[in-house]
């Protein structure tokens, strides 16, 4: 019950934020999904999480400009091999 209460508070506190995250990637698709086999990642892969990269799903550094313009704090997901 406490968990449900906290979840409902979390979501209702976010109800003022209904803008789209994805402004231009693959807009003809109902859902944009990318899948990679872990074996195909060489030393390091850097994936975009801000949806502003021109090389999506890979990060091209566009998050820096997005953060400057919006006050956001997003950055990429980096997957490395040891």
18, 20, 31, 44: which one is catalytic?
31
Q: Compute the least distance from the CB of residue 47 to ligand FES, in Å.
A: 8
In 3D space, the residue among 38, 70, 66, 36 whose CA is nearest the CA of residue 53 turns out to be 66
Are the C-beta atoms of residues 20 and 58 closer than 8 Å to each other?
no
Q: Are strands 44-47 and 77-80 parallel, antiparallel or unpaired?
A: antiparallel
Q: Compute the least distance from the CB of residue 55 to ligand FES, in Å.
A: 8
State the residues that interact with ligand FES by CB under 6 A.
Answer: 48-50, 52-53, 59-63, 75-76
Q: Is 31 in the active site?
A: yes
What residues are labeled active site?
Answer: 31
């Amino acid at each position: 019950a406490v968990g449900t209460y906290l979840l409902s508070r979390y979501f209702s506190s976010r109800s003022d934020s209904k803008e789209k995250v994805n402004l231009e990637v693959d807009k003809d698709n109902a859902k944009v999904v990318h899948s990679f086999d872990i074996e195909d990642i060489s030393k390091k892969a850097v994936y975009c999480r801000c949806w502003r990269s021109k090389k999506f799903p890979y990060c091209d550094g566009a998050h820096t400009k997005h953060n400057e313009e919006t006050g956001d704090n997003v950055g990429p997901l980096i997957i490395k091999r040891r």
